[in-house]
Amino acid sequence: MIISDALVEQHIHGAFGIDFMNCAEDELLYTAEKLAQNGVGYFFPTIMTDSIEKIKERISVVKKAKQLQKYNSAQIAGIHLEGPFINPQKAGIHPKNYICSLDEQIYKQIDDEIIKIITLAPELDLSGNFINYLRNKNIKISLGHSLGNDLSQVNQVTHLYNAMGAFSHRGESSCVSALANDNIYTELIADSLHVNDDVLKITFKTKPSDKILIISDALPLAHSDKAKLQFACQVIYNKDGKLVNSDGIFAGSSMLLCDMVKNLAEKQLLKFEDVIKYTSSNQLKYHNLKNNLKVYWNDDYTIQKVEFV
């Protein structure tokens, strides 16, 4: 048996059939309890592109749930706002009609101290004022759903390789910049679907080990018996573990972080201690969080039990 610190989900849209864009406080609290059973000590409910009114409502729900939390559940560490300040050309499943320009006055309508990470397209901030405003509020800025390649004003990139400028040996792109910059944290969906195993290996060899943040990007279909679900103003289908919309566009993952630990360790894509570093230690340090969980792993990389500390 191996013991690790808590896993940290910094990019998760829901699980167990519960959608963070539509759930009530008690459903969010239930999800937090279930996540703890799956080794998660902290999580950042991820709010995606929608109307300003809907985003404000979601922020309110997350804040109320955080106030009601008990110690024996995964703790809400803050909100990850993925959109609406993204590039329409890399929207993915984000509803394009709700995408906003990078305007400080628009953001002030939803501004709240619980927002800790914002995924945006920095190339659309032509003046630089919007990102500077966010940085002054100590929000972590993440390049994502973007065609930009200038990482000088960001802390990280969102789900490397997905919804960004593709790798090219002939020119600059989001992927090339993220791989080449040793100071930038990189989110990585390690379900072997969003990113091929060989590309995962290349990434692990390329990026400094303290700058890799494995995320689940889990959708409400994760750990759910549902075959399809309404999400982001459309129906998302579970096709043998691959979550797609009716056009076949990739959505988030059907796995939680613990499933990705098992996936990477079983395939020996990483040593187990490195898997834990990328799913736990790096995140705890990055967000300045105190470990709150002991996770006991079986030899087959499943979780036997958790203990709160």
The residues carrying an active-site annotation are: 217
How deeply is 112 buried, as exposed, middle or buried, from its count of CB atoms within 10 A (0-12, 13-18, 19+)? middle
CB-based contacts of 253: which residues, under 8 Å, 6+ apart?
189, 191, 193, 194, 216, 217, 218, 219, 222, 243
Q: Where are the alpha helices (DSSP H) in the chain?
A: 25-37, 52-68, 104-108, 129-135, 174-180, 197-206, 257-266, 272-276, 282-286
| C-alpha dihedral (118, 199, 272, 157), degrees to nearest 10 | -10
- Whole-Å CA distances, 246 to 17, 92, 229, 236: 19, 12, 12, 7
**Total number of residues shown for the chain:** 309
